[in-house]
């Protein structure tokens, strides 16, 4: 299989940390988003959505959503379980992954894509052009801070997002916090549990790499 990616971006970062935790070797091709390679014919012939990451299996099957890639690779390489070890933990991990994406990632993207000149007429990812809506910027910042506090409350008394081990839920929450730095937002001082958790996760080799 081949992985098309751009390591600095948040969704590729989710997958990169997962792969590092698993110790998986995958042929990787970098798609330079800064140079606009994701919007040009060579890459669009592989992934018509023009998004990264994209995973192409040996039989030509294309995967464009990170959660699908995580599920596929977890089934293929179960030795280091990152999607839970039972039905309840899997459900909780997937729920937090979704919540981090919907409440966290989307709030940062709301600020970034509606304020940056680099995203004029590209306020949403994908092949369809959408105009920026500047009024969404302030709402996005409020959503970011609201979700910081959601995570802080959830992490009180917990070593990780779900259970006693590092999982996909921790990857999603960590990458959200990192991504929020792209719009100059940081964890507030009053979120002590989130701050402590973030510092601990930041020391993991998979995250440092």
Domain boundaries along the sequence of the chain: 2-76, 87-208
Around Cβ 120, how many Cβ atoms within 10 Å?
A: 11
| Interval 170-199: pLDDT, tens | 999 999 999 999 999 999 999 999 999 999
pLDDT at 125 over 90: no
Instruction: Return the CATH fold of 2-76.
Output: Glutaredoxin (3.40.30)
CA atoms 199, 203, 207, 209: torsion sign = positive
Taking CA atoms, 152 is separated from 157, 183, 188, in Å, by 10, 20, 10
Q: What is the 3-state secondary structure (H, E, C) of 3-39?
A: EEECCCCHHHHHHHHHHHHHCCCCEEEECCCCCCHHH
Q: Which residues contact 180 (CB under 8 A, 6 or more apart)?
A: 104, 108, 144, 148, 186
Residue 92's pLDDT is: 98
Q: Which CATH class is domain 87-208?
A: mainly alpha
Rg (CA), the chain: 17
Write down the residue that tokens 């402590």 correspond to: 196
Give the Cβ contact number of residue 137 at 10 Å.
17
Q: Is the pLDDT of residue 126 over 90?
A: no
Task: Give the helix/strand (H/E) hosting 126.
Answer: none
pLDDT (tens digit per residue) in 47-87: 999 999 999 999 999 999 999 999 999 999 999 999 999 99
Maximum pairwise Cα distance, the chain = 50
**How many CB atoms within 10 Å of residue 182?**
15
- pLDDT at residue 40, as a whole number: 94
Q: Which residues on neighbouring strands pair with residue 62, listed in sequence order? A: 56
* Residues 110, 139 contacting (CB under 8 angstroms): yes
pLDDT mean over 139-163: 98
Whole-number pLDDT of residue 209: 82
62 is written with which tokens? 């294309």
Contact yes or no for 111/150 (Cβ under 8 A) = no
């Amino acid at each position: 299989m081949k992985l098309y990616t751009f390591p600095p971006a948040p969704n590729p970062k989710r997958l990169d940390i997962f792969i590092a935790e698993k110790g998986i070797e995958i042929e990787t091709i970098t798609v330079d988003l800064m140079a606009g390679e994701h919007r040009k014919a060579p890459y669009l012939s592989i992934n018509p959505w023009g998004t990264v990451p994209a995973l192409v299996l040996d039989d030509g099957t294309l995967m464009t959503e990170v959660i699908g890639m995580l599920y596929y690779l977890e089934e293929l390489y179960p030795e280091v379980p990152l999607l839970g070890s039972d039905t309840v933990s899997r459900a909780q991990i997937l729920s937090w992954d979704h919540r981090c994406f919907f409440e966290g990632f989307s709030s940062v993207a709301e600020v970034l894509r509606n304020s940056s000149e680099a995203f004029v007429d590209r306020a949403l990812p994908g092949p369809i052009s959408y105009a920026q809506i500047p009024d969404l910027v302030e709402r996005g910042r409020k959503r970011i801070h609201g979700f910081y506090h959601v995570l802080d409350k959830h992490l009180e008394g917990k070593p990780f997002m779900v259970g006693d081990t590092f999982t996909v839920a921790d990857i999603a929450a960590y990458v959200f916090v990192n991504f929020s730095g792209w719009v100059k937002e940081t964890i507030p001082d009053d979120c002590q549990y989130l701050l402590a958790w973030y510092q601990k996760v930041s020391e993991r080799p998979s995250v440092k790499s």
